[in-house]
Structure 1
């Protein structure tokens, strides 16, 4: 008898593709002989509650169908537990899946990994916050221009996909001003005015923006990006380079590495894995091997 799988589906991911891939995934799991536990729920809160119940009951695998937001839910369900996370990447960005070499928009390949892949231990970021409590992130936590843009994009109903994020960038950039930050990395204090500070466990966010192109999900360290104050024209010249990762050569861009990071700024909200997170100040630490995730035997080149 194949192990039990708790299935959580976001039906709105990928312009509605998530619902179709969810139904396909359920059929594939059942055909492979898995006992499928429905942990979807009517909304995010209910899905979280059902997922926590499944993990507490010792379910071997939590499989999420959706984009990085659903991965974020799965990360917070499975962190430091015996349950492993599997992903059917069905979003528009799928940064976490791409970083780990997971199949995208291919439920058959994702389900096949349950039997033919491997269970890999990867790092997570843990944030302890006075209001938000303890939360985890698998990809990138950003606090600055990216969080402002992400908040605007989430309020927009048109267009969909990456174009919505690009339009939000164009609308926010003319009114954005550098933010006074205090950044502490393993006790080393940096005071600066910056456009963006990002704490990265993986290389990218926002649908392929390679903010920290050398980040390693299993090295026990964050890569911390600081984009110091720039004029709007200068930022417009640098920003497109983030998709190729060549922005790191600009003199206003610094990347530091460390295990513990504290971010302080007034009136700034953060986002992590593309989801609204917590107000600054926040304290984040790397927890090595905190997540067991189903991956291919070898990461595709």
Structure 2
């Protein structure tokens, strides 16, 4: 926002104290100090849990600060706290700013945001322009509704996330690694049905199915390498049921996006997809979205993001 009348003057900043192995509070302190140096008023929020944080954010966004409405919601942390941010601002005119302080940082990667440098991230917000983007949206048959910015995962990777959430030890990345090994040992075909909304139906035993608004998840895995957050479409990657040996060979190719060239990988594009698979939960932006079945869609122009190379004048 380079016009003096449109410049950022007031932000609400939400922090996840657990993000980045506890580094987020320090990053938030540095960010708050930088905002103040740039003449921006900051309302800082740290919730007891996700529900409490969401309530505090909604209340703060509805209030004026020094007689002015809030210009932006800024989140300090990883993709999980960004998910909370999207729930608050999706479908509104309030842009989301990001101070990356997580471990995966897939939003930061997608939008060219500075990582490891809270001051630079703040400058990107203050000096940037807000750009409109698509968001993903999931509506479960159980009534669940959630927005997401990156990729919705179902199948093997969501089973891993289920197991991680059940584990209390160890902490950090090792818990995730152990969950992968445990689910790898239980690898089985999963019966998916995808209604792509245009007369196409896919019924297939699969290892995983991913729905991408952007290209990466899991800290840089290019699961939907052709996804475009501005085309009004989801990119869908279906990995057919496969053996453990082939799956081991498959995963390294996720980081280059070359997995889509394999015979047992199919890709589709659709505005909306009804997805069914018994016993499977959906995850997106590092968070539990809800159980299948449900409908996942790309909603054009539902989000606004400020800062980074994708949102610069």
Q: The TM-score by the shorter chain falls in which range?
A: over 0.9
Match of 1:193 in 2: 205
CA distance in 1, matches of 2:256, 2:208: 18
Paired residue for 1:176? Answer: 187
**Which residue in the other structure is 2:291 paired with?**
279
- The equivalent of 1:65 in structure 2 is 76
Say yes or no: does 1:151 pair with 2:168.
Answer: no
- Quick check: 2:79–2:102 contact (8 Å CA) kept in 1? yes
2:52 is the counterpart of 1:46:
yes
Find the residue that maps to 2:20 and give its secondary structure: coil
TM-score, with normalisation over the residues of structure 1?
0.94
Whether the 8 Å contact between 2:141 and 2:293 is mirrored in structure 1 is no
1:36–1:251 Cα change, 3 Å: same
Unmatched runs of 5 consecutive residues or more in structure 1:
none
User: Does structure 1 conserve the Cα–Cα contact (< 8 Å) formed by 2:224 and 2:235?
Assistant: yes
Report the CA distance shift for 1:23/1:248 in structure 2 as closer, same or farther (over 3 A). Answer: same
Alpha-carbon distance in 2 for matches of 1:23, 1:45: 23
Tell me which residue corresponds to 1:295. Answer: 307
Match of 1:10 in 2: 16
Measure, in 2, the Cα distance between the counterparts of 1:49 and 1:237.
44
State whether residues 113 and 309 of structure 2, in contact with CA within 8 Å, keep that contact through their aligned partners in structure 1: no
| Conserved 8 A contact 2:138-2:289 | no
Which of the numbers 216, 221, 233 marks the counterpart of 1:221?
Answer: 233
Deviations 1:190-238, CA, capped at 9 Å, x for gaps? 1000000111101111111110111111111100010011111111111
Q: Retained in 2: the 8 A contact 1:60–1:82?
A: no
Point out the more displaced range, 168-177 or 274-283: 168-177
Q: Pick from 251, 260, 277: which aligns with 1:248?
A: 260
Matched, 1:21 2:3: no
**Residue 207 in 1 paired to residue 219 in 2?**
yes
Structure 1 stretches of at least 4 aligned residues deviating more than 4 Å after TM superposition: 297-300
CA contact 2:131–2:311 (8 Å) conserved in 1: no
- The answer to whether the Cα contact below 8 Å between 2:216 and 2:222 also exists between their aligned partners in 1 is yes
| Structure 2: tracts of 5 or more residues without a match | 1-6, 64-68
1:37 equivalent among 37, 43, 49: 43
* Range that drifts further, 83-92 or 55-64: 55-64
Residue 14 of structure 1 aligns to a residue whose secondary structure is helix
CA distance in 2, matches of 1:240, 1:159: 24
Aligned to 1:113: 124
Establish whether residue 55 from structure 1 lines up as the match of residue 61 from structure 2.
yes
CA distance in 2 between partners of 1:123 and 1:10 (Å): 24
Distance in 2, Cα, partners of 1:29 & 1:36: 7
Q: Secondary structure at the match of 1:26?
A: helix
CA distance in 1, matches of 2:18, 2:296: 30
Counterpart among 93, 111, 119 of residue 82 in structure 1: 93
2:245 to 233, 258, 262: 233
Measure the CA separation in 2 of the matches of 1:67 and 1:157: 21
Deviation per CA, 1:71-129: give whole Å up to 9, x if none. Answer: 11111111011211000110000011111111112111111012222211110011222
Asked if 1:267 corresponds to 2:279, the answer is yes
